[in-house]
Amino acid sequence: MNFSERLSPAQAMDAATQRAIGPAVRLLCQVRLAVLVFAMVLALLDGMGWLGVFLVVLAAPFSFVPALNWDTRGRVYARNGILLAGDTAVAVVALLPLAGSPLMAVYAAATAALWGLFAGLRLSLIMAAPLCLYQVTAYQDGWRGLITGVAGAALTVVMTWTGTHLGRRLRRQSLLSAKLAAAREEQAALAERLRLARDLHDTVAGDLAGLALTARGLADRLDREGVRPGTVEVARGLSGAVATAHQHTRRALGELRDERDGTAGPVAEVARRWTDRTGVPAAVVVGPGVDEVGAGRAQHARAVVTELLENVRKHAAASRVEITLTVTDGTLEVLVSDDGVGLTSGTPPGRRYGMRGVRERAQLCRGDATWHPGPDGGTAVRVVLAAEPPGAAGAGPGGTIAVGPGRAGRAPTGRPWTAEVA
């Protein structure tokens, strides 16, 4: 989201905004409560008596309750039109015991700033209009009273704008803090992956390389010494299994280190390798801007595609798979669909397709994963990965990469392409 964008109250008042403006809301409510205490004293001294006390008591809950439980009920107060209208009426009533006192301007200004925090400038100005009109007429007759009332009304308008501006700044600061926190999480995850890669390289990968060499030498020696062919075949099978395990370990190290740039090419390579193993053709369709989502989201996208293809291999009995990558406002969407047996009734899709890990990865990226029957049978799984926070690992090179069987090339930037892996 662009920080300069002006958010409406309905868009802005989410849980993060509620927390962000909470301290300012409580402070302004406390200011109003302090003024109401003086209003009660003035009411008793000026002869309003119990009527003034009643007006103060009537106004107090509209400040006391939000100050007490804004963190849990703030969105209800900000979105409830009846409560906002009630606060507007009670604010005017609360000015009666303060008529002619400078505290009237203080209460009106604090009230206008409070409304500006969560109601937006336009609505806050409409709500503040009665406060301004009352202040213009509440002071003593003459030019001095008129000027004082106009000054109080002007202060109310200024504080309305100030509260609105403060609310926007607090929202932006909250959003920036959330993005920075997400970036730190991404960096911590990357550091952990690199640590695991180093540990695997220094231990498991090296041991498997040695075992592969030893097993191959053992098979050759048994063959030279004339051992029965069956035994030699077993030794060669062991050598091949160890070599395959070593290759898989090296591939996992590459994923952990995130050595490959971009998203489109590596995803197409994942699909090509999967096709080589399974014999099922896979089509990769990539939209503009996919290679600009950033290295963190690219790594998650490759992992998601790898997991979903394995689910297809294990459960779908499909004859064809299509992988679609698109980007909208920085959000990456991965759609993997097949023409297999589909989801059977009575079987939870999450248990059937092992989606737990994919959903957790999507939620780590502030996204989600959904699965449903495909339009032509089979299953379609949609994984949404929110835009990568600023400060996370940089994106790969721009443009898109077209990958076909055994080749790689670059398509014109901004044009979608289809890569068939056969």
Question: 400 or 337: which carries more pLDDT confidence?
Answer: 337
Reply yes or no on whether the pLDDT at 161 is more than 90: yes
- Each domain of the chain, given as residue ranges in start order, spans 9-182, 261-421
What's the token pair of residue 5? Answer: 């964008």
How far apart CA 22 and CA 27 sit, in angstroms, is: 9
User: Any residues with CB less than 8 A from the CB of 143 and at least 6 apart, and which?
Assistant: none
How far apart CA 174 and CA 168 sit, in angstroms, is: 10
Q: Can you say whether the dihedral through the CA atoms of 138, 140, 141, 147 is positive or negative?
A: negative
Fill in the DSSP letter of residue 316: I
The rounded percent of the chain whose pLDDT value lies above 90 is 7
How far apart CA 283 and CA 422 sit, in angstroms, is: 8
Chain mean position to CA 395 = 18
Question: Around Cβ 97, how many Cβ atoms within 10 Å?
Answer: 27
**For 285-294, how does the pLDDT look when each residue is reduced to its tens digit (9 = 90+)?**
988 888 778 7
**For 174-204, how does the pLDDT look when each residue is reduced to its tens digit (9 = 90+)?**
888 878 887 787 778 777 777 777 777 777 7
Q: What is the pLDDT of residue 254?
A: 65
What does each C-alpha distance from 158 to 162, 163, 244 come to in angstroms?
6, 9, 72
The closest of 294, 363, 290, 295 to 327, measured between CA atoms, is 290
Q: Average pLDDT, whole number, for the chain? A: 77
Q: Which H/E stretch holds residue 260? A: none
Q: What is the pLDDT of residue 322?
A: 92
| Strand 331-338, strand 282-286: pairing | unpaired
How far apart CA 250 and CA 256 sit, in angstroms, is: 10
**For 190-241, how does the pLDDT look when each residue is reduced to its tens digit (9 = 90+)?**
777 777 777 777 777 778 878 888 888 888 888 888 888 888 888 888 888 8
Q: What is the pLDDT of residue 261?
A: 62
What does each C-alpha distance from 80 to 27, 122, 170 come to in angstroms?
21, 17, 22
How far apart CA 362 and CA 165 sit, in angstroms, is: 34
How far apart CA 354 and CA 195 sit, in angstroms, is: 27
Contact 362, 384 (CB under 8 A): yes
Second-level CATH architecture of 261-421 = 2-Layer Sandwich (3.30)
Contact 319, 360 (CB under 8 A): no
**For 306-343, how does the pLDDT look when each residue is reduced to its tens digit (9 = 90+)?**
888 888 888 788 889 999 999 888 889 999 988 888 76
What value does the mean pLDDT take over residues 139-162? 84
Is residue 148 very low, low, confident or very high in pLDDT (cuts 50, 70, 90)? confident
What's the token pair of residue 352? Answer: 């059937």
User: Any residues with CB less than 8 A from the CB of 18 and at least 6 apart, and which?
Assistant: 70, 71, 74, 75, 78
**For 341-368, how does the pLDDT look when each residue is reduced to its tens digit (9 = 90+)?**
876 655 555 445 557 778 888 888 888 8
Question: Around Cβ 244, how many Cβ atoms within 10 Å?
Answer: 12
Reply yes or no on whether the pLDDT at 418 is more than 60: no
Q: What is the pLDDT of residue 325?
A: 92
348: Cα within 13 Å, side-chain hemisphere: 5
Question: 7 or 379: which carries more pLDDT confidence?
Answer: 379
Residue with the two structure tokens 């400060």? 391
Q: What is the pLDDT of residue 354?
A: 59
Q: Quick one: residue 54, left, alpha or beta (phi over 0 = left, psi -120 to 50 = alpha)?
A: alpha
Q: What is the pLDDT of residue 334?
A: 92
